[in-house]
Chain A
Amino acid sequence: MFDISLWDIVRNLLLAARWTVLLSLVAFICGGIAGLAVLFARVSAFPWLRRAMGWYIELFQGTPLLMQLFLCFFGLSLVGIELSPWEAAALSLTLFASAFLGEIWRGCVEAVPKGQWEASSALAMGYFQQMRYVVLPQAMRLAVAPTVGFSVQLIKGTAVTSIIGFIELTKAGTMITNATFRPFTVYGLVAVFYFCLCYPLSLLARRLERKLHAAR
């Protein structure tokens, strides 16, 4: 039997926190790219595409992340795609993020006055030109604060991936607890770790929001 000091616990949690950060980054970047596609479909000229994307968003916002994770992990193996916990976690968090970011950004795009669309179409700009040069630059200003806010939700969401066996902060906490029988200390520390990751982002989101309101 060997002793596990407080420092050992902290060090191991720190090592595991790298995976939480990496998973959050991957999901945020890939989810952002996919979210852009969701956004374009959601504000497109085709009603059927808009409706289909509405269902896509409803599906991800109306079901637990844990279930999405299970379906990715167990469902895809049925069609012959074996995913590791890491791949399943990255995939389902990407889809999750794409639905939420797409919906957040849609709100921002719709907040751009209609006259801007009309003016740019009067200038004979195509859909993508309108988006690229007129609407998105204005919508982006609105979108920064809620997007940063969502990143906090995403980081917290990664905790659920511990359940399918991906070893990140929460899973490491559980494993260390099982080895040390000190759940109070370990889970307390894990909570502090998450807080240190999320709180700066929350503060940033709030400051950006205040700045936006001041600029108006």
Chain B
Amino acid sequence: MAYQFDFGSLWEYRGVIADGVGLTIRLTAVGTVAGVGLGIAGAFARTSRSPALKAAVGAYVEFIRNTPFLIQLFFIFFGLPVLGVKLSEWQAASLAMVVNLAAYSTEIIRAGIQAVPKGQIEAAEALAMSRLQIFRHVILGPAMRKVWPALSSQIVIVMLGSSVCSQIAAEELTYAANFIQSRNFRAFEVYFVSTGLYLILAVGLRALLKLVGWSLFRRRRHV
């Protein structure tokens, strides 16, 4: 007997799906804002003169970049309570997103910083600007503009990666899909639709980030 597709049976779960999409978006928003913010701080730390600080940030970046997100998530959600840090599903999922993206964006932004011409930094030093002033006014803008495309695609990857947060029962889109699948046994239909939703989210996020990049980093004309 051939399988009868039944996408209509998903309609009654539209609320669950919408909630899932909402949480995926919120996770991504928190992860992006805090992750990129921390990434800027991390990249600044890596320009510091203290070898200890540099090494610490470097080790953090390498460790996160060379382990799976799922394991980081499990470690935060199941492992940290042993140390007395108890987090809810939502807190653990957001923390994992932030920790993960912070490492990647530190590395990406560092590459951008290396591309800033030395002469500009020397000129700023000659103007007696402090290290923080130089970073903020001379280095950061051009560096961010240069790496924004790379940063954008990393943000999209992290958004897609958030689907594994379903495994600690954070109620995002994949969790919603699993939930519906366990109710109506329409596995293919549910996963087909949620895959499509992820695709829309990815395309939309990419467009949004392009817009953000354009409005933040377009070359301002000097009068």
Interface size on A, residues (CB 8 A): 40
Asked whether, in the complex, the Cβ of A190 is within 8 Å of the Cβ of B71, the reply is: yes
Given A162-B70, A194-B66, A194-B67, are A188 and B191 neighbors across the interface (CB < 8 Å)? Answer: no
Given A59-B199, A67-B194, A191-B75, are A198 and B80 neighbors across the interface (CB < 8 Å)? Answer: no
A213 to B81, CA, bound (A): 46
Residues of A within 8 A of B187 (CB): 70, 74-75
Asked whether, in the complex, the Cβ of B69 is within 8 Å of the Cβ of A191, the reply is: no
What does the 1/0 interface line of B189-213 toward A look like (CB < 8 Å)?
0011011001100110000000000
25 A-B pairs, CB-CB below 8 angstroms? A58-B199, A59-B199, A61-B202, A62-B198, A63-B199, A64-B160, A64-B161, A64-B162, A64-B174, A66-B164, A70-B191, A75-B191, A75-B192, A159-B71, A160-B68, A170-B71, A174-B74, A183-B81, A184-B83, A187-B79, A190-B71, A194-B71, A195-B66, A195-B67, A202-B66
- Which residues of chain B (55-81) have a CB below 8 Å from chain A? 62-63, 65-72, 74-75, 78-81
Asked if A152 lies at the interface with its beta carbon under 8 angstroms from chain B, I say yes
A195 to B163, CA, bound (A): 22
B residues near A (Cβ < 8 Å) are 3, 62-63, 65-72, 74-75, 78-83, 156, 160-164, 166-167, 174, 177, 181, 187-188, 191-192, 194-195, 198-199, 202-203
Asked if A173 lies at the interface with its beta carbon under 8 angstroms from chain B, I say yes
Asked whether, in the complex, the Cβ of B202 is within 8 Å of the Cβ of A62, the reply is: yes
A183 to B166, CA, bound (A): 18
Closest approach, in angstroms, between the C-beta of A122 and any C-beta of chain B? 36
Closest approach, in angstroms, between the C-beta of B61 and any C-beta of chain A? 11
Since A58-B199, A74-B181, A75-B191 are in contact, a sample of 7 more A-B pairs with Cβ atoms closer than 8 Å, ordered by chain A residue number, is A59-B199, A64-B161, A70-B177, A71-B195, A182-B82, A183-B79, A184-B79
Asked if A215 lies at the interface with its beta carbon under 8 angstroms from chain B, I say no
Asked whether, in the complex, the Cβ of B66 is within 8 Å of the Cβ of A67, the reply is: no
Task: Count chain A CB atoms within 10 A of each CB in B67, B72, B188, B192 and give the residue with the most.
Answer: B67
Closest to A64 in B: B163
Residues of B within 8 A of A6 (CB): none
A65 to B86, CA, bound (A): 29
Given A66-B174, A74-B191, A195-B63, are A183 and B68 neighbors across the interface (CB < 8 Å)? Answer: no
Partner of B67, one of A75, A156, A160: A156
A188 to B79, CA, bound (A): 8
Residues of B within 8 A of A163 (CB): 164, 167
Given A67-B174, A67-B191, A184-B83, are A173 and B71 neighbors across the interface (CB < 8 Å)? Answer: yes
Summarize A's interface: helix, strand, loop or mixed: helix
Asked whether, in the complex, the Cβ of A63 is within 8 Å of the Cβ of B195, the reply is: yes
Asked whether, in the complex, the Cβ of A62 is within 8 Å of the Cβ of B203, the reply is: yes
Asked whether, in the complex, the Cβ of A183 is within 8 Å of the Cβ of B74, the reply is: yes
Asked if A147 lies at the interface with its beta carbon under 8 angstroms from chain B, I say no
Closest approach, in angstroms, between the C-beta of B184 and any C-beta of chain A? 13
Residues of B within 8 A of A152 (CB): 65-66
Asked whether, in the complex, the Cβ of B78 is within 8 Å of the Cβ of A177, the reply is: yes
A93 to B44, CA, bound (A): 37
Asked whether, in the complex, the Cβ of B71 is within 8 Å of the Cβ of A78, the reply is: no
Closest approach, in angstroms, between the C-beta of B172 and any C-beta of chain A? 10
Closest to A71 in B: B191
Residues of A within 8 A of B82 (CB): 182-184
Closest to B163 in A: A64
Given A71-B188, A74-B188, A198-B66, are A66 and B78 neighbors across the interface (CB < 8 Å)? Answer: no
Asked if A127 lies at the interface with its beta carbon under 8 angstroms from chain B, I say no
Residues of A within 8 A of B62 (CB): 199, 202
Asked whether, in the complex, the Cβ of B174 is within 8 Å of the Cβ of A75, the reply is: no
Residues of A within 8 A of B66 (CB): 152, 156, 194-195, 198-199, 202
What does the 1/0 interface line of A44-63 toward B look like (CB < 8 Å)?
00000000000000110111
Residues of A within 8 A of B83 (CB): 184
